[in-house]
Chains A and B, each alone.
Chain A
Amino acid sequence: MNNENTENENTEPTGGPERPEAGGEQPAAEQPPTAEQPPTAEQPPTAEQPPTAEQPTAAQATAEPRRLYRSRSDRVIAGVCSGLARYLNVDPVIVRVAAVALIFAGGAGLLLYAAAFLLVPNEGEGGAPPEAPRRIFVIAGVVVLICAIGALLPFHWGWGWGDGWGLLPLGFLALGGLVVWRFATGERPQGNARAVVRATALGVLLLILCFVLALAGAWAAADGGDTVVAVIVIAAGLVLIAGAFLDGRARWLILPALAVAIPAGVVSAADLDVTGGHGERTYRPASAATLQPSYRLGAGKLVVDLRRANLTPGDHPLKLRVGVGEAQLLVPRDVCVSTNSHLGIGGAQVFDRDSGGVDVDWQDERTAPAGAARVIVDANVGIGVFTVHHSDRDDWYSESGNAACV
Chain B
Amino acid sequence: MSRRLDVPSLVAGLGLIAFGAVLLADAVGAIDLSFAALAPLACFLVGNVLLAMGLSRRD
Question: CB within 8 Å of A: which of B5-38?
Answer: 5-10, 12-24, 26-28, 33-38
- Chain A contact surface mostly: helix
Contact at B13–A241, with CB atoms within 8 Å? yes
Min CB gap A249→B, angstroms: 8
Tally chain B residues at the interface, Cβ within 8 Å: 43
The residue among A130, A234, A266, A269 with the most chain B CB atoms within 10 A of its own CB is A269
**Contact bitstring A313-327, B, C-beta under 8 A = 1, else 0:** 000000000000000
**Contact bitstring A232-247, B, C-beta under 8 A = 1, else 0:** 1111111111111111
A281 at the interface (CB under 8 A from B): no
Min CB gap B39→A, angstroms: 8
Min CB gap B49→A, angstroms: 6
A67 at the interface (CB under 8 A from B): no
Contact at A133–B54, with CB atoms within 8 Å? yes
Contact at B55–A227, with CB atoms within 8 Å? no
Contact at A269–B34, with CB atoms within 8 Å? yes
Binds B, one of A82-90, A256-264, A387-395: A256-264
A contact residues, range: 35 or more
Contact at A243–B53, with CB atoms within 8 Å? no
Min CB gap A12→B, angstroms: 31
Min CB gap A189→B, angstroms: 15
A208 at the interface (CB under 8 A from B): no
Question: A237 with B17: in contact, given A227-B27, A254-B12 (CB under 8 Å)?
Answer: yes
Q: How far is the CA of A142 from the CA of B47 in the complex (A)?
A: 11
Q: How far is the CA of A227 from the CA of B26 in the complex (A)?
A: 9
Chain A, Cβ-Cβ closest to B51: A135
Contact at A269–B54, with CB atoms within 8 Å? no
Q: How far is the CA of A141 from the CA of B10 in the complex (A)?
A: 22
Contact at B58–A234, with CB atoms within 8 Å? no
With beta carbons under 8 angstroms apart, the residue of A132, A138, A266 that contacts B38 is A266
What are 16 of the A-B contact pairs (CB < 8 Å)?
A: A133-B58, A138-B53, A226-B23, A229-B23, A233-B20, A240-B13, A240-B16, A241-B10, A244-B13, A248-B9, A257-B12, A261-B23, A266-B35, A266-B38, A268-B38, A359-B36
